[in-house]
A and B are shown apart, each in its own frame.
Chain A
Amino acid sequence: MAQNKQTPLIFEISQPGRKGYSLPPCDVPEKEVSELLPADFLREKPPLLPEVSELDTVRHFTRLSQRNYGVDAGFYPLGSCTMKYNPKVNEVVSRLSGFLHVHPYQAEETVQGCLQIMYELDRMLSEITGMDRFSLQPAAGAHGELAGLLAIKAYHTARGESRRTKIIVPDSAHGTNPASAAMAGFEVIQVKSNAQGGVDLDSLKAAVSPELAGLMLTNPNTLGLFDENITEIAEIIHAAGGLLYYDGANANAILGIARPGDMGFDVVHLNLHKTFSTPHGGGGPGSGPVGVKKDLIPFLPKPLVEFRDGKYYLDGDLPLSLGKVRSFYGNFTVMVKAYAYILSLGAKGLKEVSENAVLNANYLLQKLKGLFLLPYDRICMHECVFSGQNYHSQGVAVLDIAKRLLDYGYHPPTIYFPLIVQEALMLEPTETESKETLDEFIAALKAIVEEIQTDPELVRSAPYSTVVQRLDEAAAARHPKLRWQPETNK
């Protein structure tokens, strides 16, 4: 990130008459536009788009890219986000013309390759999670949550139990869980965590009722801890007639080790952009397939891909289906990348993923124990959560530590989440990082802790080396400036 000079907005380098495109001349007999469209339909004021050359465009976006940081540039231990290496061969195969330039409404016999990938990916994800069937339609994790919850709703309704309107969510859950439950029309009941960081069984027992629709659980949870009581939790929920929803955001810990389906979960979503190595794209596109046990298959989003007489086809004739959550079949080229990833690794390789993810996280946990408070001192899974509260007396917040890490060239961990840990610092190293990388990162954190002792202001005012320093975020929210305006925006 060498680009310290400010980059003008693309609109500010616009020059009337400059152009960055080349289109062929019109080769059909032309008519006056006014002959083809009524005058009052026509736009008078053109949209103020930039006028720049191709080189202007390339330079502009190259410079913008230099004001960004990606996994290829360095360590990115952002907890809960699984910022692992994104294999390049997956990018190559997802760009094959036979995947990239295919229309979703082409006749089935002309898209057999696409359908085969979807069919096989469904089977592979089912095997990995111990579920019976996946829909690949949801576009992201939260979207998968919505689809999964709607499947739960449709299931209860079909059984004449539409009174089941409540979803239990632990206080350690991702914010998307309660938000998705609300969007699916459920009432959210929050349950506490116990001293070990798991679901408090007494609170859980008190929360179940005949109105229970289900429980949303992340396991390992957002503290990076595996809930040992999972079998008991499943029994409590099932005995009350509810279903278990597995938030797969943390599935990187359990590939080939344990399966949600064997733990008693009925519905699962996975984040292909976390566990299955597809890039995050600066905030998407992801893909959030939702998988279910046999009894819930009829309620999945439609259509599903089926195989009969040597042919793959789309089956939209699912009368009990929850409907559609987006157009077409999902983020197909993201699926191609995940499919290629699973094929590259096989069963043994996937198990190595989780072994190394968990090994790396525990190594960080062990080495950082002396630096930060550890609210739950036990073996962690793929991520570990510390509290930076011990530096409060020096007036240093965990935000400051995160900002100082930027100066050391690292993307900081997730901070202030999970909400149940004060001054939380959530680190997820992923399996693709080496011991050397972790050691260097640990050394950086040690150096920052040194700085807190000797010169806390240095940490409080960080970062210094980034293209911009701390932002006035309050002003951004108080006086929203959400677009460029030609006159005022200088």
Chain B
Amino acid sequence: MSRYISNTALQQEEMLKEIGLNSLEELFRDIPKEVRLKQNLNLPEALSEMDLLKHLKALAGRNNNLEDNICFLGAGVYDHFIPSVIDTLISRQEFYTAYTPYQPEFSQGTLQAIFEFQTMMCELTGMEISNASMYDGASALAEAMLMACQAVKRDEVLVASSVHPESREVLKTYARARGIKVKEIGFINGTLDLEELKSAISSATAALLVQYPNFLGAIESLPTLAEIAHNNKALFVVSADPIALALLKSPGECGADIVVGEGQSLGNPLSFGGPHLGFFCATEKLLRKMPGRIVGQTTDKKGRRSFTLTIQAREQHIRREKATSNICSNHALNALTATIYLTLLGKEGLKEVAYLCLQKAHYAMEQITKLPGFDPLYTAPFFKEFAVKTPVSPEDLNANLLESKIIGGYPLQKVYPELKNTWLLAVTEKRTKEEIDLLVEKVGGK
């Protein structure tokens, strides 16, 4: 028997006897013969723990990791510093081996942490309510679209083409399923094309969806966009970088109705793309239309403050096909990670991270555009990520940089065919002046 099974062969026999069966085989007598598996599964031989570790270490060794490489790649997920405290705390079994907090008396830890998470996300985004998290930023944006369409009872949305390409793809998948029309609005100098927006928006528009800062690194002027959306009685949906919100005006202040985003930057490792978390905040008005778990405060029989899942009449286990969403499991442990991160960094620390990103990204932009043939792609304000024109293909630059253990930027042509020879670089607080100078030196030496 494997080490994960506790019953001994003798106990198995005793239990079978108790049940009134003679063999394990008889347990499966309800499965018709014709669908029983006749042979063993064709899987690799079981590995001992030692061999398993060896095998997985070898596989991990086939990847370039960001501890041994210098990363200037962002494009939606970022190489921010992760304090050591986080893994210690999220590795506590009481957190990670628990289920969704259905029994509040046994789950106050998870519930209170989510309540704190909801508070922090409301503070960052400037919104009134938050849910307990979503799978990622992209699916959160798609759910925001569904919620907006339901709330204003229209079935067309406008999305900035400067929203993350993967988010736009997910948005379109969810939209197609429900018969929602998605129109893309282009950009000029990196930010939303206002003329195009004004001519596209109409009384059929349920929502305008933008990203802040956008995929190209540029910062949209939210109040202007909110006004245009609201003048058409459409909702204004913003997908925001939570780190940037320490420095930038909150979308709530700028008139957003729904604010979502990718929460990876808040203490979650890149993990080859997941698991991370999506956050989902809105105005109080939209509460009954929110997707996902929501934790509320109440009291117990003895009058003590306590926390519980609430407003559940929106959810699939109660409303079935009439639920606001099908989401059940969210990304609780990643939301806990974000909560611990925001606790450690706190009011000053998050600002400091944002400040360092801002300074370093601008230094990098300044240095790199001193090189011949490297020019800023846009003049719009940016935060930690920016696009430059390159004299050669960015793929070639990246291939060369890899030899110096530098992971270069994102070639924008991959998703914007017209943006040939353009390179999106992200500079977080982790990058040192030395590393930025090395990047510039290596690129310039080309």
Contacts and interface: CB of A to CB of B under 8 A. Distances in A.
Contact of A113 (B63, B124, B311): B63
A127 interface: yes
A435 B99 contact: no
Given A20-B343, A46-B246, A60-B343, A78 B99 contact: yes
A43 B347 CA distance: 13
Interface in A446-490: 461, 463, 466-473, 475-477, 480-484, 489
Going nearest first, the 5 A-B pairs with the smallest beta carbon separation are A328-B273, A98-B60, A346-B46, A281-B333, A104-B273
A437 interface: yes
B169 interface: yes
B5 A112 contact: no
Contacts of B31: 226, 228, 254, 257-258
Interface string A86-119: 1101011101111111111111001111101100
B437 to A, nearest CB: 9
Interface residues of A, number: 204
B296 A327 contact: no
9 contacts: A57-B344, A140-B328, A175-B315, A179-B323, A258-B36, A280-B98, A358-B27, A411-B103, A470-B105
Given A27-B433, A282-B98, A355-B27, 5 more contacts: A11-B119, A68-B109, A99-B271, A99-B272, A178-B316
B66 to A, nearest CB: 4
Contacts of A106: 63-64, 73, 407
B297 A435 contact: no
Nearest to B381: A37
Nearest to B38: A262
A72 interface: yes
Q: Among the interface residues B57, B89, B432, which one has the most CB atoms of the partner chain A within 10 A?
A: B89
Contacts of B169: 323-324
A86 B91 CA distance: 12
Given A65-B94, A114-B272, A352-B2, A283 B100 contact: yes
A483 B139 CA distance: 23
Contact of B32 (A42, A43, A228, A279): A228
Interface string A415-450: 001000000000000011111010000000000000
A71 interface: yes
Contact of B135 (A37, A83, A140, A347): A140
Nearest to B34: A231
Contacts of B313: 477
A393 interface: no
A307 interface: no
B256 to A, nearest CB: 14
Given A89-B52, A176-B326, A476-B297, A49 B345 contact: yes
Given A68-B106, A73-B94, A482-B294, A437 B6 contact: yes
B104 interface: yes
A141 B135 CA distance: 12
Interface stretch (B195-203, B229-237, B334-342, B370-378): B334-342
B60 A99 contact: yes
A46 B295 CA distance: 24
B112 A9 contact: yes
A281 B108 CA distance: 14
B436 A28 contact: yes
B138 interface: yes
A143 interface: yes
Contacts of B227: none
Contacts of B56: 93, 96, 336, 340
B63 A114 contact: yes
A150 interface: yes
Contact of B124 (A47, A350, A360): A47
A240 interface: no
A67 B248 contact: no
B326 A179 contact: yes
A345 B1 CA distance: 10
Given A27-B433, A358-B28, A43 B247 contact: yes
Given A41-B219, A78-B99, A93-B56, A327 B317 contact: no
A219 to B, nearest CB: 9
Nearest to A437: B6
Contacts of A180: 326
Nearest to B137: A327
Contacts of B249: 40-44
A209 interface: no
Nearest to A330: B274
Contacts of B133: 284
B369 to A, nearest CB: 15
Contact of B310 (A78, A116, A473): A473
Interface residues of B, number: 205
Given A19-B349, A28-B359, A282-B333, A468 B304 contact: yes
B226 interface: no
Given A359-B27, A472-B298, A482-B296, A143 B41 contact: no
Given A140-B329, A176-B326, A117 B59 contact: yes
B310 A476 contact: yes
Interface string B75-112: 11101010101011101111111111111111111101
B306 A471 contact: yes
A181 B272 CA distance: 30
Contacts of B416: none
A49 B123 contact: yes
A309 interface: no
Contact of A343 (B42, B52, B61, B275): B52
Contact of B273 (A279, A330, A473, A481): A330
Interface string A218-261: 00000001101011000000000000000000000011111100
B286 interface: no
A406 B105 contact: yes
Interface string B1-35: 11011110001101110111100101111111011
A318 interface: no
Q: Among the interface residues A63, A93, A437, which one has the most CB atoms of the partner chain B within 10 A?
A: A93
A327 B167 contact: yes
Contacts of A350: 41, 43
B403 to A, nearest CB: 12
Contacts of B434: 27
